[in-house]
């Protein structure tokens, strides 16, 4: 199998079908539902989310928890290192995780560290732990046909940072630094905290972060969880021109690129949500609506196409090509 998320068909038949729901206090896992939810007392809920080996893992678990209507508090980490790595390498991994936690007002709560002969690169796993007092989790499956789909910020936020981090010198041979800086953005562009909290105040029914698989993958997952169709205006999907140009340098599709920091929200009143988000400085756009049936349609002027099932994220293809370059050099 290819690196990245496994396909929905494999996930369904080889993972989800094997998991039996025995405890009513534990939400049953499903496609498009990124967090685990455990009912506590007095409507309190514990929200859990894990990421392994992805880019910016603390941001990704935090965003999933925010998208579920919770507040992330802690990150429980596991760092497994290959034999040829040393203590300095371990410190660098922990510094990175701790820095991400600091930027998100989270705390590393503990975890596990180990040296293992069977791996060639570090394996880092982060489990985010959060709390919520929402009566019901705000998950993607709550989206209803007819609702507007609003997207915050723009696509490619996380993935373009990985590309620039690895290829900045080459990019600067073609583009001035101002272009690169605009594409790279601010690290806090990668958190959905502000829009998620405001969206809850505006009574959205469903949210889903745009992470691995890009906007195309996130839209599919959201519709799959809710069992709805989609009618999306491709031209309304927000993207920075600077990101498009850098992606073109490396034959990367920005619509399939990791986009941590962007959030999809389903609402009955899209205009109100967009205005409320603008008042707190978060750009947002109505990009389409949920529909009856199962057709997931992308309209681009007179051209109509159907959304494919989620594909391998472009960031993995890019990093895989980078690895081959280094091995052959």
pLDDT tens digits for range 168-202: 999 999 999 999 999 999 999 999 999 999 999 99
The whole-angstrom separation of Cα 64 and Cα 263 is: 10
Residue 1 lies in a domain: no
Give Cα separations from 174 to 18, 244, 317, 322 (angstroms).
51, 14, 22, 19
pLDDT of residue 160: 96
User: pTM (2 decimals)?
Assistant: 0.90
Judgement on whether residues 176 and 86 belong to the same structural domain of the protein = no
The upper half-sphere exposure of residue 312, i.e. CA atoms within 13 Å in the direction of its Cβ, equals: 12
Last residue of a domain, one of 108, 132, 156: 132
State pLDDT tens for residues 198-241: 999 999 999 999 998 999 999 999 999 999 999 999 999 999 99
Give Cα separations from 4 to 78, 193, 320 (angstroms).
19, 25, 11
Q: What is the mean pLDDT of residues 81-101?
A: 92
Could you give the maximum distance between any two Cα atoms of the chain, in Å? Answer: 60
Strands 296-300 and 229-233: parallel
Domain count, the chain: 2
Residue carrying the six token digits 């534990």: 26
Q: What is the mean pLDDT of residues 294-298?
A: 95
Q: What percent of the chain has pLDDT over 70?
A: 96
Q: Name the phi and psi angles at 97, rounded to 5.
A: -65, -40
For the chain, give the mean pLDDT: 91
How does DSSP classify residue 117?
Answer: T
pLDDT at residue 260 greater than cutoff 70 = yes
pLDDT at residue 326 greater than cutoff 60 = no
pLDDT of residue 149: 98
Q: What is the mean pLDDT of residues 44-71?
A: 90
The DSSP bridge partners found for residue 303 are 300
Judgement on whether residues 174 and 254 belong to the same structural domain of the protein = yes
pLDDT of residue 214: 95
Q: What is the mean pLDDT of residues 117-125?
A: 90
pLDDT of residue 218: 95
The upper half-sphere exposure of residue 295, i.e. CA atoms within 13 Å in the direction of its Cβ, equals: 10
Residue 14 lies in a domain: no
Q: What is the mean pLDDT of residues 5-24?
A: 80
pLDDT of residue 3: 65
> What is the per-residue burial (b if ≥16 Cβ within 10 Å, else e) of 108-133?
beebeeeeeeeeeebbbbbbbbbebe
Domain with 159, as residue range(s), is 140-328
pLDDT at residue 249 greater than cutoff 80 = yes
CATH of the domain at 58: 3.30.1330.10
pLDDT of residue 154: 98
How does DSSP classify residue 28?
Answer: P
Residue 13 lies in a domain: no
The whole-angstrom separation of Cα 292 and Cα 144 is: 9
């Amino acid at each position: 199998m290819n690196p990245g998320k496994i396909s929905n068909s494999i996930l369904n038949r080889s993972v989800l079908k094997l998991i039996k729901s025995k405890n009513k206090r534990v939400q049953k896992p499903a496609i498009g539902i990124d967090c685990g939810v455990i009912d506590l007392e007095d409507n309190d809920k514990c929200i859990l989310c894990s990421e392994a080996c992805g880019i910016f893992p603390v941001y990704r678990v935090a965003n999933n928890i925010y998208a579920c209507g919770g507040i992330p508090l802690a990150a429980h980490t596991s760092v497994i290192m290959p034999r040829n790595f040393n203590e300095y390498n371990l410190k660098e991994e922990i510094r990175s995780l701790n820095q991400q936690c600091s930027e998100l007002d989270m705390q590393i709560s503990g975890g596990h560290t180990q040296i293992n002969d069977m791996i060639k690169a570090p394996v880092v796993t982060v489990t985010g732990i959060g709390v919520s007092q929402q009566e019901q989790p705000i998950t993607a499956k709550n989206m209803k046909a007819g609702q507007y789909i609003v997207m915050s910020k723009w696509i490619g936020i996380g993935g373009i940072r990985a590309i620039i981090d690895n290829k900045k010198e080459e990019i600067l041979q073609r583009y001035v630094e101002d272009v690169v800086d605009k594409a790279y953005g601010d690290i806090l562009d990668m958190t959905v905290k502000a829009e998620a909290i405001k969206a809850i105040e505006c009574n959205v029914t469903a949210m889903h972060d745009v992470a691995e698989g890009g906007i195309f993958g996130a839209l599919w997952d959201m519709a799959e969880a809710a069992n709805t169709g989609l009618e999306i205006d491709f031209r309304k999907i927000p993207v920075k021109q600077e990101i498009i140009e850098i992606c073109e340098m490396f034959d990367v599709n920005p619509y399939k690129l990791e986009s941590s920091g962007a959030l999809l929200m389903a609402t009955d009143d899209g205009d109100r949500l967009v205005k409320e988000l603008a008042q707190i400085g978060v750009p947002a756009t109505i990009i389409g609506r949920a529909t009856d049936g199962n057709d997931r349609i992308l309209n681009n002027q007179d051209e109509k196409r159907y959304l494919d099932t989620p594909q391998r994220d472009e960031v993995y293809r890019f990093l895989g090509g980078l690895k081959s370059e280094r091995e052959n050099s």
